Amino acid sequence: MRQRTHELITTRQQIIRRLGRAAEFKDNETGNHVLRMSHYSRLIAEAHGLGTEAADIVFSTAPMHDIGKIGIPDSILLKPGKLDADEWEIMRQHPLMGAEIIGKHDNELLETARIISLSHHEKWDGSGYPLGLKGEEIPLEGRIVALADVLDALLSKRPYKPAFSVEHSLELIEAESGRHFDPALMVALKKALPEILRIKEIFADEYGALTDLEFKINEVFSHENSAEGYPGVLFSIKD
């Protein structure tokens, strides 16, 4: 019975990750963004004081944050120029679409995925969407994923922007503390930053699409004798 339960949990985790990557492949060549930001989310969660189990859930469900983009027309999602007001209104529906796709569940993993999908575009000052939640009205998981998502977007090359330096990216994020982001998470971000930057390099888009399993193997072989740093958590990844 215990083995069967473990298999069911693992299957749910794999489905969540693969669906999350499927959404990213619509507007990201390698889909590595969803892998990077999931690990960033976990590191920030741990640095903020969440326990191992809670951080594991954030890590496993963060890939579904943009699953609602599946419902956005390609003419809008892939538009090279600026969206007009009508197009932007459609784009702003993707958190609601994502929550609808996942649905409400008693299962903690799936319910957390729904909450993250629905809340990761809310802002600390209440100016976000789709519900205009403010401060601690925004679920903590959504606040963490919002920070991780924007951080990776700033650090990464996109069709509309170059990759920003670490220093410039942190300046932009600090400027949004108390407006876009939970100020309390700034401390966690700084604490987790060294490991975040290691993940950034390992999952760099120029290396092509990497799977979680390839990442785990590479890290274990590179750091098998090290008792410090992020590789320690790799042994708890359920692949």
Transcribe 180-226 into DSSP letters. TB-THHHHHHHHHHHHHHHHHHHT-GGG----HHHHHHHHHHHSTT-
Q: For residue 58, which amino acid is it? A: V
Q: Which amino acid is at 47?
A: A
Q: How far apart are CA 44 and CA 215, in angstroms?
A: 19
Cα distance between residue 148 and residue 142, in whole Å = 10
Q: Which amino acid is at 117?
A: S
The CA distance from 76 to 91, in Å, is 7
Rounded distance, CA 23 to CA 69, Å?
A: 6
CB atoms within 10 A of CB 179: 13
Residues paired with 177 in a beta bridge: 181
What is the Cα–Cα distance from 203 to 211, expressed in whole angstroms? 9
Angstrom distance (rounded) from CA 77 to CA 154:
18
Which two tokens mark 9?
């949990």
> Which residues carry out catalysis?
69
